[in-house]
Structure 1
Amino acid sequence: MAGLIKREDIDEVRSRTDIKEVVDGYVTLRSAGIGSFKGLCPFHDERSPSFHVRPQVGTFHCFGCGESGDVIAFIQKMDHTTFSETVERLAARIGFELHYEDGGTGPRREDVGKRQRLLDAHKVAEEFFRDQLATPGAATGQEFLAGRGFDQEAAARFGVGYAPQGWDAALKHLRGRGFRDEELKLTGIFSEGNRGIYDRFRGRLIWPIRDLTGATIGFGARKLYEDDQGPKYLNTPETMLYKKSQVLYGVDLAKREITKNRQLVVVEGYTDVMACHLSGIGTAVATCGTAFGADHIKIARRLLQDDGSGGEVVFTFDGDAAGQKAALRAFEEDQRFIAQTYVAVEPTGADPCDLRQTRGPEAVRELIASKRPLFEFAIKAGLQKFNLNTVEGRVQALRASAPIVAGIRDAAIRPAYARELAGWLGMDVDDVVRAVGAAGRRAKETKGAPERIFAAPVDAVQSAPEAEQEPAAQVFSRPDARDPVTRMERESLEVVLQQPAQLTAAQWQAFYEARFLAPAHAAIHDAVRAAGASGATPAQWVEQIRQEVPEPLRGFVSELAVTPLPAGNDDALVRYCSDIMNRLFELQITHAKAELMGRLQRMDPASDPEGFNSLNRQLMELEIQRRALRAD
């Protein structure tokens, strides 16, 4: 049984992983001062670097788009993996064995090794198939690709290969690379008969199927020869790596564009994905021999950041009966999305590959641009089942269509579609509006009130266990950096986040007792106190504070943690930290003196001479403290 990863193991993986080393695999970093690095942000387009990494505190932050977090968050955002998957990958990377709560288990060490061997075998097989496509024996495959408008560059871009005719070409190659038959049986690349294993794919074009990280986990093979008695398309069977209900072909190439454009285009085949990408639709993916289902939706929502703030899913289907059936099947899953869902159907029945081949890339782009809401398609498809020339037929059609209109998530367009439905049915608008309203009420009575949507991570199989969900969203305004007091507060928080070891015990005590005026700064100050009280280690420090603040401020904490401190060397850094903390404490003394002076002015010395003298002594002590700070 899968279990939650123990918190101490998560902390250990986080602390032992060099965030700069990980980020270097995606971003070219250069020095930005003591212990700080910067580069072009991988999460948005920019010309000058605003993406900062501070390995010492294990945090990244982009001052351009606001993305921020620790090494776990970075991998999650880049590779669109869940929290658990990310921690397990990082643990495998450093050779650390994870432990799970409540007797749960994660991937066993031997399973991790077995999985890696399978991935290695797939990589070798992909290279073999790709090399074979350039040989004379692959002439039929080359002609197939050319006939559909794909040149060598296009084939290379998508890793298309060729499986030679015969029974053991791939088998011999992988055996020659040191793989044992026991391992090869588990790949799905081979079949097994009375005489042992043999090539599963023979005389076929091969498409590598990759996961979100770009690792090849299976293959799709297209028949080329008439004497091939197998199906037109033959895919890898279910294996440890390949689960067809959880795989989207082309997702490795499309994931950045999907996240950037908040759009996912679902097409039907490998060549359709190629045609879309080559036509400028870089958000296209395809299922692998199965309907678009719940597991695919989890992946899609994660990529789309499907949190109610926008995004669209566009399904393309043939215009025939099978295509219509597929579209209606997709509509059944529509409510799993928060994003708007659309359908793009070519009236002539041409798929994206056919369109690009016959009418050029522009026709593919026009197809996607012609999308219409999936619920509209479903309504009109449903109307075709009834005889709208009769009263009975129109009433039946209204009963079938009203729940669909009532289920439209955008309340602003729901009334408009009620009026559209009235026009399609030839019925009175008020009658249709009442029917839609009644359908909506029945749905609420059946399912209960709709759930409130929070802007939380989608498909959070396991969020960071230390993060508690906020009971309600809190709003913080960004502190005004032009205000001297606010700027002083910010600079002190930068020091505490980045250089906690520079503070003495007395400085820590004074910092904890300090009063911060900007609400955002005050919330972070409270989080620092909480992190200190929990005994957070230096490796946990910034991330613990990030988890202690309200959700809207977590990016701000990362920003403070990576802002370069104005110090050219270690000695200057020590002086800077000391000066900043002294200025903060002097500011606190000033606040305290002002409060005491107000009390003193309101007091009658004759009626309370002892209290009057006590306030004067306190003022004198504060002034002595202030002068001592100035002398340091």
Structure 2
Amino acid sequence: MPGLINEEDLATVRERSRIEDVVGSYVTLRPGGGGALVGLCPFHDEKTPSFRVTPTRGFYYCFGCNKGGDVIGFVQEINNSSFVEAVEFLADRVGVQLRFTDGGGGNRVEPGLRSRILEANRLAAEFFAAQLGTPEAVAGRQFLAERGFDRDAAEHFGVGFAPMGGRDLAKHLRGHKFSDDELVKASLIREGGGWDYFQGRLVWPIRDAGRSVLGFGARRLFDDDRMPAKYINTRETPVYKKSNVLYGLDLARQNIAKKNQAVVVEGYTDVMAAHLAGVDTAVASCGTAFGDDHARLLSRLIGSSDALKGEVVFTFDGDAAGQAAALKVFAGDQHFISQTYVAIEPTGLDPCDLRIQSGDAAVRELVARREPLYRYVMANTIAGFDLDRVDGRLEALRAAAPLVGSVRDNSLVNGYIHELAKMLGSDVDEVRREVARAGRRKVAPSSDRHREPEPPPPDEQPALGLPMPNPRDRGLEVERGTLRLMVRAPEAFEQGWNDTAVDDFTHPAYRAIFEAILAAGTPASDWPQPVVQAAADPTAVQVIAALATEPLMRPASPTYAAEYVAKLKLLSVSRTIANLKSKLQRTNPVDDQPSYNRMFATLLEFEKQRRELTERAAGPAL
């Protein structure tokens, strides 16, 4: 198992990776006042810039889609990569050789190799695209034309042709100073002879969300092709992991976030057909079945503030293989936050053939006719039982009830109960009782229909995180303003943060952030990075990023910090006074005189504190 990244190396990567340089390679940034830079958000469509970068603190935040974090978080988001992959990407960029604890670096990639592979892939994609116009590629152009794709479509999707000679690409890339060792590791040439990996095939570049070419997929065109497989893909490389890539993601990403929908099709030409027909959220897995990692990737891309409103739509053939694929996807459905749907074409045509036969509107209609994956799987689950017999209906109910019980959107459960009762011809109350018994068991479709599903282990339960505070909530402005000052100008506070207490914060996210500030220790030059590391909750991390980019109302100073803390404590004391007055009103001064007198004396003390805090909050007299 890989070890952890050496802390010194991680700190060096953060120090050398200037966030304005990294973000600036994806976004045009302009001065926005207060030392911040602004630009159009790369994570959602917008016409007015709401994306801010604060170089002095090393954070970015978008006030439109609420995405934010440090430079590593930005790379994770823009490249859909893990934390370690993002660090390695930045390390290659700034020339840091990472060390790993526990011998974890044994299988790591040498510094700079990822960047070299990505550059080789970029040049290879340009080379293949240029070759599609040559006389040798007539079979490739004919293949595309027969499927309704003209020259503009080929250029839009970057489709190319790998020459039949077998050494053309290798020669081309050697001319750009790439070694054979680098090209073998990039899966562009084969070991032992230097033959091109793709020969005489139509080629599709597979890009990430940042449009970097990660690898290629290639289709057989000629009968004498020595590779019998219809499609072959780039081998696993340091940048290409087939379980983590989706074809068409570069074109679909913004539309997925904007429409809160992703449509999963089965092949390269299906993605092309869907996009050209107006379904611009279509993607496809590459050389492997759609799996759990793909599900997690799409879940990160769905941009709805209410995750249950997001949709992932799968297109399957209506045959047995399509049904099996639907069951496999459903087995991993817990990895989706969004609702999952299935779109089945009754004629059995895939989106590409459907577009050829019936036009663009038919492809759009296919997606519009989607039905919940639960319902589709439910129907297929009960199809194998004899519903004309009482015992058959009971067995079918027991098999299907856990499916209904696992539906995340509780508002749909009652409707599915009625649907299942109608499918079975059973009493609704009987179905409801069986669904209740199934509870929240983990659904795992298998050939053993009668095996009771087992509950998921605790670490598989979804973590929803703290509620996101409204930055415009006037009632929470003092809490947010105090934290903003602590994140942006910790030097303005006395040791102990001017005696600020956790209980001074009422919103759970703000309370969690202050707890992280306390846990982060004495502020240093890398502040607020230690606060981010101490904040375990994802909502808290997002809010910290926002605070680090929000402008201060006045220049930071000890006086300004003291006034803000006084305002915060004034609100806290006022809440305490209100509670004491409420208790006094409910206490009989005759029957419980000692308790009443103690509370009254305490009230007087807090009233004195409130007067003092009111004066401090107003600032020094002029």
Taking structure 1 as the reference length, the TM-score comes to 0.78
Cα distance per residue 1:242-295 (max 9 Å; x no partner): 443333222233233333333221111100011112222222111223222233
Return the alpha-carbon distance in structure 1 between the equivalents of residues 573 and 278 of structure 2: 66
Asked if 1:454 corresponds to 2:443, the answer is no
Partner of 2:201: 204
Structure of higher CA gyration radius: 1
**3-state DSSP class of the match of 1:447?**
coil
Query: What residue number does 1:257 align with?
Result: 255
Q: State the AA in 2 paired with 1:223.
A: R
Q: Secondary structure at the match of 2:340?
A: strand
Do structure 1's residue 21 and structure 2's residue 21 form an aligned pair? yes
The counterpart of 1:498, out of the listed 483, 488, 492, is 488
Residues 4-44 of structure 1: per-residue CA shift (max 9 Å, x gap) = 22445434432332111122122222212242222223333
What are the superposed Cα offsets for residues 296-324 of structure 1, whole Å, 9 maximum, x if unpaired? 23333333379964422211012233323
Identity of aligned residues (%): 46
1:58 aligns with 2:58: yes
Q: CA deviation at 1:55?
A: 0.8
Deviation of the 1:554 alpha carbon? 4.3
Q: Is the 8 A contact 1:308 1:455 kept in 2?
A: no
Q: CA deviation at 1:544?
A: 2.1
- After superposition, the C-alpha distances for 1:497-526 in whole angstroms (9 at most, x for unaligned) are 43445x4xxx62595236896646777666
Q: CA RMSD in A?
A: 4.0
Paired residues for 1:208-357 under 5 Å: 208-228=205-225, 230-304=228-302, 309-357=308-356
Q: Deviations over 1:390-419 (max 9, x none)?
A: 556545544443443344344443343333
Report the CA distance between 1:556 and its aligned residue. Answer: 4.1
In structure 2, do the counterparts of structure 1 residues 425 and 39 end up closer, same or farther at CA, with 3 Å as the change threshold?
same
Superposed, 1:60-459 pairs within 5 Å as 60-105=60-105, 108=108, 110=110, 112-191=111-190, 196-228=193-225, 230-304=228-302, 309-390=308-389, 393-440=392-439, 447-448=454-455, 451=458, 452-455=461-464
Q: Which amino acid aligns with 1:536?
A: P
Please state how far the C-alpha of 1:82 moved relative to its aligned partner.
1.7
User: Structure 1: which 5+ residue stretches go unaligned?
Assistant: 457-472, 568-572, 595-614
- Residue 562 of structure 1 is matched in structure 2 by 549
Q: What amino acid is aligned across from residue 453 of structure 1 in structure 2?
A: P
Q: Describe the shift of the 1:53–1:546 C-alpha distance in structure 2 as closer, same or farther (beyond 3 A).
A: farther
CA deviations on 1:541-570 (whole Å, 9 max, x unpaired) are 365268459764544444443233467xxx
Structure 1 residue 157: Cα displacement: 1.8
Whole-Å Cα distance in 2 between the matches of residues 211 and 496 of structure 1? 37
Question: Are the structure 2 counterparts of residues 400 and 220 from structure 1 closer, same or farther at C-alpha, using a change threshold of 3 Å?
Answer: same
User: Matched residue pairs, number?
Assistant: 571
Counterpart position of 1:513: 499
Specify every segment of 5 or more residues in structure 2 that has no aligned partner in the other structure, as ranges: 444-451, 575-604
Partner SS, residue 341 of structure 1: strand
Change (3 A) 1:186 1:435: same
Equivalent residue for 2:591? none
Distance 2:243 2:573 in 1: 68
Distance in 1 (alpha carbons) for counterparts of 2:472 and 2:123: 55
| Displacement after TM superposition at 1:127 (Å) | 1.6
| Residue number in structure 2 paired with 1:536 | 523
Cα distance, 1:58 vs. partner?
1.4
CA distance in 1, matches of 2:573, 2:225: 92
Say if 1:546 and 1:557, in contact at 8 Å, map to a contact too.
Answer: no
Structure 2 Cα separation of the partners of residues 398 and 315 of structure 1? 26
For residues 572 and 255 of structure 2, the distance between their equivalents in structure 1, rounded to whole angstroms, comes to: 54
8 Å contact from structure 2 (residues 498, 565) kept in 1: no
Instruction: Label 1:321 to 1:113 Cα distance change in 2 as closer, same or farther (>3 A).
Output: same
One-letter amino acid of the counterpart of residue 153, structure 2 = A
Of structures 1 and 2, the one with the larger relative CO (CA 8 A, separation 6+) is 1
Aligned-residue offset at 1:86: 1.6
1:264 match: secondary structure: strand
In the TM superposition, residue 241 of structure 1 has moved relative to its aligned partner by 4.1
| Residue type of the alignment partner of 2:202 | L
Q: 1:227 to 1:310 in 2, by over 3 A?
A: same
Q: What are the Cα deviations for residues 85-133 of structure 1, in whole angstroms up to 9, with x where unaligned?
A: 22222222222233434443376462x3444443333222222111101
Q: Secondary structure at the match of 2:185?
A: coil
- Kept in 2, the 8 Å contact 1:166–1:202? The answer is yes
Please identify, of 181-190 and 219-228, the stretch whose mean Cα deviation from structure 2 is larger: 181-190
- Aligned to 2:215, the other structure's residue is in SS state strand
Correspondence for 2:5: 5
Mapped to 2, the partners of 1:234 and 1:135 lie a distance apart of 22
Cα separation, 2, equivalents of 1:406 and 1:549: 30
SS at match of 1:60: strand
SS at match of 1:342: strand
Normalised to the residue count of structure 2, the TM-score between the two structures is: 0.79
The DSSP-based 3-state class of the residue aligned with 2:195 is: strand
**Cross-structure match for 2:584:** none
